[in-house]
Amino acid sequence: MSKTVNINKLHIKSNEITLLDLCFKIEETTALIGESGSGKSLTLKALLNLLPTNLYKEFLYDSPFELNYENIGFIPQNPFTSLSPMTKIENQFFCDKKRKIDVLKKVGLNTWVLNRFPNQLSGGQLQRVVIAIAISKNIKLLLLDEPTTALDEQSKKLIIELIRQLATQLNLTLLFVTHDIDSIKDLCKKIIIIKNGKVIEEGKTSQILSNPKKQYTKTLIESNFKTREFRK
């Protein structure tokens, strides 16, 4: 059973203007959803301790593990820009060779990728490498920032399935940040909806999808599914 992280207070201000004021639980597989500017990136940066120093932060949490570099893995949006372009894949890991081979196997890649440069791999392969690097540490919490946005439909499905399997296998707690509810509906058990830096609705994914209480949530759901219809 993965561990729950309780964010009791996350308050971020810039020049006395509140940008974020949140209280929420990250349990098992949780999605944080909101439109552009709602505070998704600020939340991730706060959890990763990467907030710009000009912002005021009050952060109170209780968690079975420390929220630090050792325990948290991060998967950014774009695998094409998240690896160093001039460095072979094998030198982008910080662990021994055996561990590299082991985690590559876990993400469905063979050892041949170690000898390649990032531009010699596809988007889906690169995102698998990024995930392998994240799980090469003994992480407890995996933060994902729209990890499938830059991928084609087929790769999207495969990466979501991979993340689902790894979360179970490695007992990871997941926080998946996105504006795209459709992308997480088969992965995340719980959804938290944020607007203007505040939680406005939360609950089980099935409940939120079938019976959203707020118009903002309905609009997020409708716009996602409409775009998908249009793309078919």
Ligand X SMILES: Nc1ncnc2c1ncn2[C@@H]1O[C@H](COP(=O)(O)OP(=O)(O)OP(=O)(O)O)[C@@H](O)[C@H]1O
Binding site for ligand X (CB under 6 A): 14, 19, 34, 36-42, 52, 55, 179
Helix (H) or strand (E) holding 163: helix 153-169
CB of 38 to ligand X, least distance (A): 4
Nearer to ligand X, 88 or 179 (CB): 179
Beta strands, E only, 29-109 = 29-33, 56-62, 72-75
| Distance in angstroms between the alpha carbons of the first and the last residue of the chain | 38
Nearer to ligand X, 2 or 38 (CB): 38
DSSP SS3 for 123: helix
Nearest to 95 by CA among 133, 42, 47: 133
Nearer to ligand X, 70 or 222 (CB): 222
Nearest-angstrom CA–CA distance, 135 and 221: 31
CB of 179 to ligand X, least distance (A): 6
CB of 210 to ligand X, least distance (A): 25
CB of 77 to ligand X, least distance (A): 9
Nearer to ligand X, 51 or 83 (CB): 51
Nearer to ligand X, 41 or 92 (CB): 41
What are the strands of the beta sheet with 72-75, ordered from one edge? 72-75, 141-145, 173-178, 29-33, 190-195, 198-204
Q: Which amino acid is at 189?
A: K
Nearer to ligand X, 22 or 208 (CB): 22
Nearest to 82 by CA among 114, 130, 117: 130
24 beta partners: 7
CB of 135 to ligand X, least distance (A): 24
CB of 110 to ligand X, least distance (A): 34
Nearest to 75 by CA among 111, 100, 35, 107: 107
